[in-house]
Amino acid sequence: MIPEGQKVLVVIPAYNEHGRIGEVVRAVKGVLPSAKILVVNDCSSDDTGKEAVDAGAFVVTHIINLGYGAALETGYLYALQYGYELIVQMDGDGQHLPDEVPKILAPVLDGEADIVIGSRYLFSKNNYNTSFVRKAGQKFFGTILSVISGYKITDPTSGFQCLNRNAFELFSRGQFPHDFPDADVLLMAHYAGFRVKEVPVVMRKRSGGESMHDGLKPLYYVIKMILAITMVFLSQRRWKQYVS
């Protein structure tokens, strides 16, 4: 599946995923035996880091909790430093199925896209259940992004992605959001001239742990994302300078 000599890094941000992260790492190793797995342990208070190491991952640990986006950026910086050409990013809670990784890898390997998003909503018989508020937010921001960019986005909050080196290099320049890198980041990529594509994937609900969309966080998310999209839109000239 991965061409010989192609360096692929699997980046898995993790915060208090003890009891889940080990299974995820072992499953990824079974699907991508030649890829390196990097678990970014965002200052977990449980044994997430040890469990990931025992399962065969390389672990980088933040000494303070920095947030999901910051954990991803740590992975991007690691990939740049050590010469990786592709990143597969997925969550450590078991939502993203390693068997679905080939679907998000293929368009990048074939040169069809720079960023591929695994969408849970592209299947005609989608059985992924989420709260009304969260689904409405996904629809709202997906519609805004689709109108501005001209390509259809159904799942802007999906963290199940594949990025080529040009894409994750852009996201390593210091403007990557530390908490919710979603529609605003995809808009940055659009203005920078990157090709973004969605592919249908199966996801399952998280089996435990704490979601970054729990409690009052969806309200904060909506306000923050509206402001972030507005800022990206107003500063689009900055991102267009990266167009080759």
> Residue 122 above 60 pLDDT?
yes
Q: How far apart are CA 224 and CA 178, in angstroms?
A: 12
What are the C-alpha distances in Å from 128 to residues 27, 67, 93, 102?
A: 21, 25, 15, 20
Question: What pLDDT is stored for residue 126 in this prediction?
Answer: 55
Question: What pLDDT is stored for residue 220 in this prediction?
Answer: 84
Residues 205, 46, 50, 22, Cα dihedral to 10°: -10
| Range scoring the smallest mean pLDDT among 19-23, 114-118, 146-150 | 146-150
Question: What pLDDT is stored for residue 128 in this prediction?
Answer: 56
Question: What pLDDT is stored for residue 180 in this prediction?
Answer: 84
Helix/strand/coil percent split, the chain, to 5: 40, 15, 45
Question: What pLDDT is stored for residue 210 in this prediction?
Answer: 58
Instruction: Label residues 98-132 b or e (16+ Cβ within 10 Å = b).
Output: bebbebbbebbbeeebbbbbbbbbeeeeeeeebee
Tokens linked to 180: 């919710």
Tell me the per-residue pLDDT of 71-95, one tens digit each, with 9 for 90 and over: 999 999 999 999 999 999 999 999 9
Tokens linked to 79: 């990939």
Q: How far apart are CA 125 and CA 123, in angstroms?
A: 5
List alpha helices for the chain, DSSP H: 21-31, 48-55, 68-81, 101-109, 132-149, 165-170, 183-191, 217-234, 236-240
Question: What pLDDT is stored for residue 189 in this prediction?
Answer: 93
Q: How far apart are CA 146 and CA 120, in angstroms?
A: 17
Question: What pLDDT is stored for residue 105 in this prediction?
Answer: 96
> Residue 139 above 80 pLDDT?
yes
Mean pLDDT over all residues of the chain? 88
Nearest Cα residue to 184 out of 221, 218, 129: 221
| pTM: predicted TM-score of the whole model, two decimal places | 0.90
Amino acid at 15: Y
